[in-house]
Structure 1
Amino acid sequence: MDRQLISNLAHADHPISAPVSDVNVRTLLDRAICGSSDRLLDLGCGQAEWSVRALSAHGGATAIGVDRSALALNSAGAAARRVGVADRLRLVEGDITEYRSEDKADVVLCVGAEYAFGGLLPTLTAAAGHLTDDGVLLLGVSIWEREPDAATLEVFGVPADEYADLATTVERIVEAGWTPTYGHVSTRSEWDDYEWNWTGSLARWALDNRDHPDAATALAVSADHRDGWLRGYRGVAGFVVFVLRRTSVSPVQG
Structure 2
Amino acid sequence: MKAFETLFGGARLRWIAGALVVVNGFFPALWILLTSLKNEAELVAKPITYLPHAPTLSNYVHAFGDQPLLLFLMNSAIVALASTALAVVVAAGAAYAIARLDLRWRGLILSAIIASSMFPLVTLLVPIFQIMRSLNLLNTYAALVLPYTVLSLPVCTLVLVSFFQAIPRDLESAAMLDGCTRLGALVRIVFPLSAPGVFTAAILAFVNAWDEFLLALSLNSAPAYRTLPVGITLYQGEYAFPWPLIAAALVVAIVPVAALMALFQERVIGGLTSGGLKG
TM-score range, shorter chain: under 0.3
Structure with greater helix share of residues: 2
* Structure ranking higher on relative contact order (CA contacts 8 Å, 6+ apart): 2
Q: Give the alignment's TM-score, normalised by structure 1.
A: 0.23
